[in-house]
Amino acid sequence: MPDRPQPGTRDRPIADVAVVVSVLTGTNVAAYFAPGSLQTLIVPLGAVVLVVLGRHSGLSWDDIGLGNLFPTQVEELILRTPGLAPHFQLVLSRSGRLDEMTVQVEVRPADFTARHRDELGQDLLHMIKENIGVSVTVDVVEPGVLERSLGKAQRIRDLRPTASRTLLGGK
């Protein structure tokens, strides 16, 4: 008799994807054909159903694809890291079918040694993974390398092809 998986383990990724797709498709079709005022109730109801089914099957919010990462979360961790300057940029790129993010951050002038830069990068990498839950690449650069803006800081540089940005909700 084969061993049964422990409850709560993620052993059915295809079924999980099928649940998410089914709920989203059903919600969109129902909202499309529903009369005006009912449409405003169907979408939140679909979200609740998706969350309930996701929790029941052990899916997290990020597994469903609804998680967000805000530059201010990364900024907070940078400011808590001694030796790093508050000048940073999140660079989004695409490798094959996967999106990747590189955090480019400047080192403070007094802490500018190659060995210390590597340690600072590893520290920030682990803090981001532990506190935000995403895997990134960290590139600690020399002071003054990142572009400064006179107005609002441009924290995100998106290098992904335009089609993938549209699919992922980018501009």
Please tell me whether residues 87 and 152 are part of one structural domain: yes
CB burial readout 73-105, b (16+ within 10 A) else e? ebbebbeeeebbbebbbbbbebeeeeeebbbbb
Please tell me whether residues 77 and 146 are part of one structural domain: yes
Task: Measure the CA angle with vertex 61, ends 56 and 65; round to 5°.
Answer: 120
Q: Is residue 100 part of a domain?
A: yes
Please tell me whether residues 43 and 86 are part of one structural domain: no
Nearest to 146 by CA among 155, 136, 158: 155
For the chain, list the strands marked E by DSSP. 84-95, 98-107, 137-141, 156-158
Please tell me whether residues 49 and 106 are part of one structural domain: no
Query: pTM (2 decimals)?
Result: 0.57
Cα(145)–Cα(171) distance, integer angstroms = 26
Q: Is residue 3 part of a domain?
A: no
Please tell me whether residues 84 and 146 are part of one structural domain: yes
Q: Write the pLDDT tens digit of every residue in 119-144.
A: 999 999 999 999 888 889 999 999 98
Q: Write the pLDDT tens digit of every residue in 80-104.
A: 998 999 999 999 888 887 888 999 9
Provide the domain limits for residue 40: 13-64
Q: Is residue 6 part of a domain?
A: no
Q: Is residue 4 part of a domain?
A: no
Q: Is residue 1 part of a domain?
A: no
Please tell me whether residues 154 and 77 are part of one structural domain: yes
DSSP letter at 85 equals: E
Please tell me whether residues 124 and 79 are part of one structural domain: yes
Predicted pLDDT of residue 16:
67
Predicted pLDDT of residue 67:
54
**Rounded percentage of the chain residues whose pLDDT exceeds 90:** 23
The CATH number of whichever domain residue 143 belongs to comes to 3.30.300.30
The residues near 51 (Cβ < 8 Å, ≥ 6 apart) are 61, 64
